Amino acid sequence: ETGVTQSPTHLIKTRGQQVTLRCSSQSGHNTVSWYQQALGQGPQFIFQYYREEENGRGNFPPRFSGLQFPNYSSELNVNALELDDSALYLCASSIGQGGQYFGAGTRLSVL
């Protein structure tokens, strides 16, 4: 186990809805990165948070947003869900830009 927990494990939403995914980082880790992984592909970087500030962002639209809290846990919010948002969403925690440790992921299905 990595010590990184994600909730919920599975989620079903309909197109146009909004979703919030949660991640608790490993103890002592101050950086959280979020990834989207479509079936059969490698993870795609969404964004990273360091000490409650967005530290970098991949090629995702603004309807993907996030937060990091003082205890370094994090949320990923997706508005106006589209069918293509169906994927495994992975959270990874690290100490700065060091090795990343992943949670088990949230599998999102958009119908």
Partner 1 sequence: GIQVEQSPPDLILQEGANSTLRCNFSDSVNNLQWFHQNPWGQLINLFYIPSGTKQNGRLSATTVATERYSLLYISSSQTTDSGVYFCALRGDSNYQLIWGAGTKLIIKP
**Footprint on this chain of partner 1 (rule: CB under 8 A):** 2, 33, 37, 41-45, 48, 55-56, 58, 88, 90, 92, 97-102, 104-105, 107
- Beta bridge mates, 31: 50, 94
Q: Which is nearer to partner 1, 62 or 99 (CB)?
A: 99
- Cβ 34 to partner 1 shortest distance, Å: 11
Q: Which of 59, 42, 12 shows the shortest CA–CA distance to 102? A: 42
Of residues 30 and 55, the one with the C-beta less far from partner 1? 55
Minimum distance from CB of 54 to partner 1 (Å)? 11
80 vs 107, beta carbon nearer partner 1: 107
> In angstroms, what is the minimal distance from the CB of 13 to partner 1?
19
- Give the DSSP letter string of 42-88: --EEEEEEETTEEEEE-S--TTEEEEE-TTS-EEEEE-S--GGG-EE
